[in-house]
Amino acid sequence: MLEFRAALVFDDNLRAQANAAGRNYWPVYYREILNRMGLPYSVLGPEELTADGLAQYRILLLPPLPEGHLTDAQAQALSEWVTAGGLLLGFATPGLDELFGISVESVIEQVGDEFTPSACIRLADAEWGASLLPAYERDAAMPVLAPVQRLQAPQGRELARLLSFFEQDLHQPAVTYRTVGNGAACYWAFDLAQCTWAMQQGRPVYEDYDGDNSLRTMDQITTRPWEANVPYADLMMFALRRIIAEHGGVFLHQLPPAADGSVPDAVFHWGGDDEGATEVQIPAAEFMVEMGLPYHINIMQTPVPVHTLSAEKFNRLKQLGCETSIHFNFTTAGQQPYRITRQDLADQLDAYFGAYGEVPVCTVFHCMTWTGWAEPARWLAELGMKGDNNRAHWRYPPSNPVNKCNFAFGTCYPFHYYDDCSEDNRRIDFTSAPVTAYECGYIRENSEFSQLHRAIELASFWNLTMNLFFHPIRLTEPAPQAAVREALAYMQKLGMNPLHFATDQMCLWWHERAASAIEAVERDEEQVTVRTRTDYPAGCIIQLLWPEGEPGSVEINGVPAQYVLREQHNARWLYVAMPTGQAEAVVRL
């Protein structure tokens, strides 16, 4: 039985040097990509790139390193390891051109700052890439937020094509894959970590970039002018996952099992802001109870620090099973454009605690106000909160983009914030679940279901965690109520097994997922053994590619277990729901 392990090469000295020079060290974010992808991995220092050090791994990710950083001996060890069967993944990594089968002609630099698209890519390979997109999005150009190399790779299989900023075909690969002996070498012409981090966390907001006279998360959007009809960063992650899966990778799925232990198709998370109204919360919460749905209301102080919602109504919301949190308000007293301070957040949290006696979990800022980069996330983590739902789905204009399902921050899944260079680019224990489907299903008094249907179809297609954002006041009106009813009817019509969460539940699952682990994978010709650990009560799900036919058997802790086999994206994915605590699955051919 062969142990199957993956590793990420990471040199913390390079991080420290970059941070000391006042620069972000982007490769830090490969950890976030791997964690979100659900691939278990070890971290290797460059000194461990020896024949012995590499022998225990099957997959190696090698981020960008300074020119000349790899020694000849290391390059030789890597080459032999690939030939013997390893999968090497490079990301604009210098010093191994021969192994990757590439030559670099030139570099397309970012014009402006490190948060500006330099070029685009298109998933080109029909078998592994293009099938990750729905048929009507197959040609989607996805912006790259990093310098991109122009490559020649005559022996490679082109997994993605390089396009210019203006989507002109440059007839060169952006991702190339090459079989070498028993192994393979896959090269990305850019730093995927920079691209993903800059897309998901966006540009720091120090000015009103979009001209709406406010500092908001909309100012952070780096995918502009693309419409983000598909989640670009998620698609790049799915493409990477597919490559690793072809080489035997086993992944922790993004979704948790349902309470009955089944594998859901999507998680929908429902929440909205009360905008300081007093008469809408209870009817909205009652409507959601009637629909059998969870719900989350962010409560605003108008003016700060006055909570107009009475403690009695707050308690009634709790009785209805409705989550309650704070809707931070920076607009009633402040002038626009307004910069948030740590003191603002602390004072408003104190007032909330004084009114209701609890520390909230996951918040939205009124008008999605934002300042700087990671600072508000760092401050709220210090103040005891766990996450936000602040990232806008669509750029300004319009100011309030209703009935839209978009992915302006490149992702539909939550992510952890990472701090800036002054704070060592540390991961912050605070997540963002972006808004993705905002007031969908109606225009004013009329039903209009196209975007609502699209949100549900895409959630099912990619197994997403999809935010369905509805303000409480809207849920007291007929057209938005009809949209909620239609959402449930449409999921049923599609034969989906959806899981419904409120905002805090979504946030807390993501924290639990990040702390869960695939602890070991062993593979041979006859079976795959996977050991998992999670504290999440419903457990976790593992996924792996399954070549053909049904598994001979699937057992968890020695007992026959359920599994789901899905034909998806031109592949067959096997999903197994694992129980809470430690568990071992054995899947036999």
Using CB under 5 A, list all residues that contact Zn ion: 273, 275, 366
The smaller minimum CB distance to Zn ion, of residues 366 and 511, is found at 366
**DSSP per-residue string spanning 293-340:** ---EEEEEBSSTT-B-S-HHHHHHHHHTT-EEEEEE--SSSSPSS---
Q: Measured between alpha carbons, how far is 575 from 377 in angstroms, rounded to an integer?
A: 34
Q: Quick one: which of 503, 499, 491 has its CA closest to 539?
A: 499
Which helix (H) or strand (E) segment is 584 a member of? strand 581-588
∠ CA 419-424-425, nearest 5°, is 35
Decide whether 273 or 504 has the Cβ nearer to Zn ion.
Answer: 273
Q: What is the dihedral of CA 131, 137, 141, 143, to 10 degrees?
A: -90
Q: Could you please report the per-residue DSSP string of 403-445?
A: SEE--TTS-SS-EEEE--GGGTTPEEEEEE----EESTEEETT
Q: Identify which of residues 222 and 389 has a Cβ nearer to Zn ion in the complex.
A: 389
Q: What is the largest CA-CA distance in the chain?
A: 71
In terms of phi and psi (left: phi > 0; alpha: psi -120 to 50; beta: otherwise), the region of 78 is alpha
Minimum distance of Zn ion from residue 277's CB (angstroms)? 10
Instruction: Give 178 or 366: the residue with its C-beta nearer to Zn ion.
Output: 366
For residues 114 and 275, which CB has a smaller minimum distance to Zn ion in the complex?
A: 275
CB of 13 to Zn ion, least distance (A): 44
Give the residue with the Cβ less far from Zn ion, 366 or 416.
366
Q: Is the dihedral of CA 225, 231, 234, 239 positive or negative?
A: negative
Beta bridge partners of 323: 296
Residue whose CB is less far from Zn ion, 234 or 273: 273
Q: Which is nearer to Zn ion, 53 or 305 (CB)?
A: 305
Q: Which residues contact 410 (CB under 8 A, 6 or more apart)?
A: 196, 199, 200, 223, 228, 231, 232, 233, 234
Residue with tokens 């909620």: 484
CB of 390 to Zn ion, least distance (A): 11
Contact 455, 268 (CB under 8 A): no
Q: Is 228 left (phi over 0), alpha (psi -120 to 50) or beta?
A: left
Give whichever of 310 and 332 is closer to Zn ion, judged by the CB atom.
Answer: 332
CB of residue 90 to Zn ion, shortest distance in Å: 45
Helix (H) or strand (E) holding 457: helix 450-462
CB of 416 to Zn ion, least distance (A): 24
Query: Among residues 299 and 437, whose Cβ is nearest to Zn ion?
Result: 299
**Residue 328 CA: distances (Å) to CA of 190, 418, 527:** 38, 22, 52
Q: Is the preceding peptide bond at 294 cis, omega within 30 degrees of 0?
A: no
Determine the residue with CB nearest Zn ion. 366
> Which residues are registered as beta bridge partners of 530?
521, 585
* Least Å from the CB of residue 444 to Zn ion: 19
Complex with Zn ion: residue 122 or 366, whichever CB lies closer: 366
Q: How far is the CB of 350 from Zn ion (least distance, A)?
A: 20
State the minimum distance, in angstroms, from the CB of residue 474 to Zn ion. 13
Q: How far is the CB of 298 from Zn ion (least distance, A)?
A: 8
Minimum Å gap between C-beta 301 and Zn ion is 11
Orientation angle between helical segments 342-356 and 311-319, nearest 10 degrees: 80
In the bound state with Zn ion, the residue whose beta carbon lies nearer, of 464 and 468, is 468
Q: Given the complex with Zn ion, which of 361 and 364 has the nearer CB atom?
A: 364
Query: Closest distance between Zn ion and the C-beta of residue 367, in Å?
Result: 6
* 526 DSSP 8-state letter: S
3-state secondary structure of 497: coil
Residue located via tokens 């008008």: 367
**DSSP label at residue 380:** H
Q: In angstroms, give the least distance from the CB of 285 to Zn ion.
A: 18
CA quadruple 115, 118, 123, 125: dihedral sign: negative
Nearer to Zn ion, 14 or 309 (CB): 309
Here the tokens at position 461 are 């297609």
The secondary element (H helix, E strand) that includes residue 521 is strand 517-523
By CB atoms closer than 10 A (0-12, 13-18, 19+), residue 126 is exposed
CB of 454 to Zn ion, least distance (A): 25
Measured from the CB of residue 242, what is the shortest distance to Zn ion in angstroms? Answer: 39
Q: Name the β-bridge partners of 559.
A: 556
